[in-house]
Structure 1
Amino acid sequence: MRQFLIGEQALDEGTPELPSQLERAYALKLRPLCLCKDPPVPMYIARLDGQYLVKRMPLTGRDHDAGCPSFEPPYELSGLGPLIGSAIQIDAASGSSLLKLDFSLSKRGSRASAAQPSQPTESVRNETKKLSLRAVLHYLWDTGELTEWTALWTGKRGWGRVRASLINAASQMNVRGELLSNILFVPEAFYAEDKDGIAARRAAALSGAQASGPGPRKLMLAIAEVKEFAAARDGQKILARHLPFPFMVEASAWRRLNAKYETELELWRSGDDLHLIMIATFGISGAGIAAVEEIALMVVNENWIPFESVQEQRLLEKLSGWRRKSVKGLRFNLPRGQPIASVTLPGERPGPVAMYIVPAGASEDYEAALAELIEARPEMIPWIWRVAEGDMPRLP
């Protein structure tokens, strides 16, 4: 159980008066300190679903004691490592991050130019300098702690919690002179009894994407769950859950999307309990049509944990019943041909575990890169599943 210092008062996580103290500290903009180490580690207070929660500051997870629930494995084990200090710059005082993007947030002309998907994952152009569209989605998912799981959360993570986590994470990020949360649209879960209120809030949130005359216009970012794809007169429509309108994608962009995200689409279609997440830059025409400019896709399981292969899906299924925390690693800008820790188990004893899945047909370069990754973090105990050698090894 964590212990926090708020002002001059030390409080255990389970103390009955903690919620009221967090609400007060949130209003006064006080920063809690986690007492797992000396000196204490700064944290911040987030308001999610009407509750006040203590969250770790971005990229400070490894500053906590390994036995602290706020501990996070080293970011060098995932695709986040190459981005720190270049594409992602952290303000140590505020904990906010400045993001450098490799895609446009403005558009010229009266119609969608090409609905070009983000830089292909096989390419490493600007790998350490700017964030692809997919990398922004991964960073929001990671910062929102949606990569973490314990069986204690079963049945408690729905779209409402996912949305709140994403918006809260975006409020800690800056892009091109403004908060990412100001240009990010994540649809509310629909409730018939509040349909008028939801419609009004949606219209206000989308006002920044509306066409407002000639010249370049601003685009917004949307993150939503794909419900289905449907044919349109010229291209495709993406129907998103909780939204009454589709996102339009041109025919040429639709062909590229299917080619680039063939694996994600195949995985999504393999199970009714899986979710397909889209992130897209988009604008709304004078006629009120939402047109996609760039788009990336990510498949997640029933607990909203991302995965990229059947083997990762199986591993996550095995770990979903554990009461101990697991953390899913993400690629960000890294191509599939480069190893990452698929999952880490920070609370294991005698030390935290990094779990690697080596795909069948992995090259010698892949194996050499994996060996370097393991050697660079000797405090992490490696668990390796070489798919070509057979079924999943025994879990730690």
Structure 2
Amino acid sequence: MRQFLIGEQAFDEDAPELPARLERAYAQKLRPLCQCKEPPLPMYIARVDDLYVIKRMPLSGRDHAPTCPSYEPPYELSGLGSLIGNAIQIDASGKAALKLDFPLTKKGARGAHASSAELSEPALRNESKKLSLRAVLHYLWEAGELTEWRSSWTGKRGWGRVQSSLMNAASQMTARGGPLSDILFVPEVFHQEDREGIAARRAAALAPAHASGPGQRKLMVTVAEVKEFAAARGGQKIAVRHLPFPFMIEDGTWKRLSSRYETELELWRSSEDFHLIMIATFGISGAGIASVDEIAMMVVNENWIPFESIHEQHLLERLSRLKRKSVKGLRFNLSREQPVVSITLPEQRPEPVAMFIVPISADEDYEVALNEMITVRAEMTPWIWRVAEGEMPRLP
């Protein structure tokens, strides 16, 4: 059982007095210390659905003891490895400073055209010094611990939990010198009985995105679930869940988006159980219209775990019924031509397992890179599904 040190007092994680102590520590901005190792490791307190929970600091998962629930596999197995120390820099307090490769300002009330999806996607350039829009989405998802799953969580993760996890993760990050949470808008779950309160909080959160006159204006970032796309004059409108207004996207950008994210859109349309997540920079005109500037997308399953192929979804489905924890690996800036760990099983004994899915399109360079990745992390047992060879191998 884990123990946490808060101030001078130690608490077991199931201690009945811990919730009240966490609430006080949250107000006092105290950091709990996880005692899985010596010296203890700093954590932070997040408020989730009116509960106070202890979360690990960004990128600290691999520093915890392998038996600790906060342990996370080495980030070198995913697209995160090349970004650490470059696009993502962690300071002494545990805050993550993000370097972005997309603008958060725009000239004029409306530019000549919105930026293309490709412009915000350094996977085409394999850039490691800055985060693409998609990489920011992946980092928020990972830091919010939304890549993790075990069967006991079934039915306990809805958009409300996703929203609070993303905002809590953003509170531990900075971008362009300010808190990322100040410019990130994630719609909260709509409840009819609280519609006026929700509207007031939404208006306050969106205030920085409103155009204040001619000249350069600020953009915000939104993460939201797409409900549907619909034709509009000169483009498309994106309806998102829990919002009373759509986001407008110009026709040229829509065509590039449809091409760049053809796979994600195809997967999303294949099942009512899947969700399409968008991350976009946007501004709101003087007329009150929200318009997308740049956009990226990701498809997730019914448990809100990202996946990029139907084979990966089949593996996630199999693992979702197990009590042991699984952790989804993400690409960040890496292209599909480069291998990343699909899923890790950190609680597997005697060694954690790194699971790889090799696509039919994999060439010799892909196999060389995969072998190098496996060799570097020799402390993990590899499990490999080569799709071209047939059905999924037996699970560990």
TM-score of the pair, normalised by structure 2: 0.98
Deviations 1:202-227 (CA, angstroms, capped at 9, x unpaired): 11111100010111000000110000
Distance 1:247 1:29 in 2: 36
CA contact (8 A) 1:235 1:251 kept: yes
Query: Could you say which residue in structure 1 is the equivalent of 2:356?
Result: 356
1:261–1:297 CA contact under 8 A, matched in 2 = yes
Q: Give distance in 2, aligned partners of 1:353 and 1:182.
A: 38
Determine if contact 1:95/1:172 at 8 Å carries over to the other structure.
yes
- Please give the alpha-carbon distance, in whole angstroms, between the structure 2 residues aligned to 1:35 and 1:200: 41
Aligned residues: 394
- Offset of 1:9 from its aligned partner? 1.6
After superposition, give the CA deviation of every residue in 1:222-266 in whole Å (9 maximum; x if it has no partner): 110000000001100000001111100000000000000000000
In 2, the alpha carbon distance for the partners of 1:262 and 1:73 equals 31
Query: Is residue 120–residue 260 contact of structure 1 (8 Å, CA) maintained in 2?
Result: no
Q: 1:119 maps to which residue?
A: 120
Match of 2:279? 279
* 3-state SS of 1:318 partner: helix
Quote how far apart the aligned CAs of 1:188 are.
1.1
Question: Equivalents in 1 of 2:266, 2:90: separation in Å?
Answer: 36
How does 1:199-210 map onto structure 2 within 5 Å?
Answer: 199-210=199-210
The question of whether the paired residues in 1 share the 8 Å contact of 2:105 and 2:216 is answered with yes
* Cα pair 2:32 2:45 within 8 Å, conserved: yes
Q: Taking structure 1 as reference, are residues 113 and 321 closer, same or farther at Cα in structure 2, changes over 3 Å only?
A: farther
Is 1:87 the counterpart of 2:104? The answer is: no
* Matching residue of 1:33: 33
Q: Secondary structure at the match of 1:293?
A: strand
User: How far apart, in 2, do the equivalents of 1:288 and 1:29 lie?
Assistant: 37
Alpha-carbon distance, 1:129 to partner: 0.5
Paired AA for residue 102 in structure 2: F
Contact residue 210 and residue 283 of structure 1 kept, 8 A: yes
Q: Which residue of 1 aligns with 2:367?
A: 367
TM-score, length basis structure 1: 0.98
Structure 1 residues 122 and 18: alpha-carbon distance in aligned structure 2, compared to 1, 3 A threshold: closer
Q: Indicate the SS of the match to 1:253.
A: helix
Deviation per CA, 1:303-323, whole angstroms, max 9, x where unpaired?
Answer: 000000001100000011111
Give the Cα–Cα distance (whole angstroms) in 2 for the partners of residues 361 and 251 of structure 1. 31
Q: How does 1:14-163 map to 2 (within 5 A)?
A: 14-91=14-91, 93-116=92-115, 117=117, 118-120=119-121, 122-125=123-126, 127-163=127-163
Query: Which residue number corresponds to residue 238 of structure 1?
Result: 238
Indicate how the Cα distance of structure 1 residues 112 and 245 shifts in structure 2: closer, same or farther if over 3 A, else same. farther
Whole-Å separation in 2 of the counterparts to 1:365 and 1:224: 36
Q: Counterpart of 2:128 in 1: which secondary structure?
A: coil
User: Is the contact between residue 223 and residue 278 of structure 2 (CA under 8 Å) also seen in structure 1?
Assistant: yes
Q: Quick check: 1:316 aligned with 2:316? A: yes
C-alpha contact 1:73 1:346 (8 A) present in aligned 2 = yes
Task: Give the Å deviation of 1:8.
Answer: 1.9
User: What secondary structure, in the 3-state scheme, does the structure 1 residue paired with 2:120 have?
Assistant: coil
1:119 CA drift (Å) = 3.3
Q: Which moved more, 1:154-163 or 1:39-48?
A: 39-48
User: What whole-Å deviation, never above 9, does each CA across 1:344-371 have from its counterpart, x for those lacking one?
Assistant: 0000000111000000131000000000
Look up the SS of the partner of 1:160 in the other structure: helix
Corresponding residue number in structure 1 for 2:180: 180
State the Cα distance separating 1:23 from its structure 2 match: 1.3
Task: Give identity over the alignment, percent.
Answer: 72
Post-superposition Cα deviations, 1:15-67, rounded to whole Å, max 9, x if no partner, equal: 11111111122222221111111221111111111111111111110111111
Indicate how the Cα distance of structure 1 residues 110 and 7 shifts in structure 2: closer, same or farther if over 3 A, else same. Answer: closer
Deviation at 1:336, TM superposition (A): 0.3
Query: Which secondary structure state, in structure 1, belongs to the residue aligned with residue 374 of structure 2?
Result: helix
Q: Which runs of 5+ in 2 are unaligned?
A: none
Which one-letter code corresponds to 1:315 in the other structure?
L
The range that moved more, 22-31 or 235-244, is: 22-31
Specify the code of the residue in structure 1 equivalent to 2:339.
P
Once the two structures are TM-superposed, the CA of residue 112 in structure 1 deviates from its matched residue by: 4.0
Moved more, 320-329 or 18-27: 18-27
Write the distance in 2 (CA, Å) between the matches of 1:4 and 1:68. Answer: 12
Q: How far off its partner does 1:121 sit?
A: 5.7
Q: Distance in 2 between matches of 1:237 and 1:133?
A: 20
Contact preservation (8 Å) 1:329, 1:343 = yes
Name structure 1 gaps, 5 residues minimum.
none
Matched, 1:377 2:377: yes
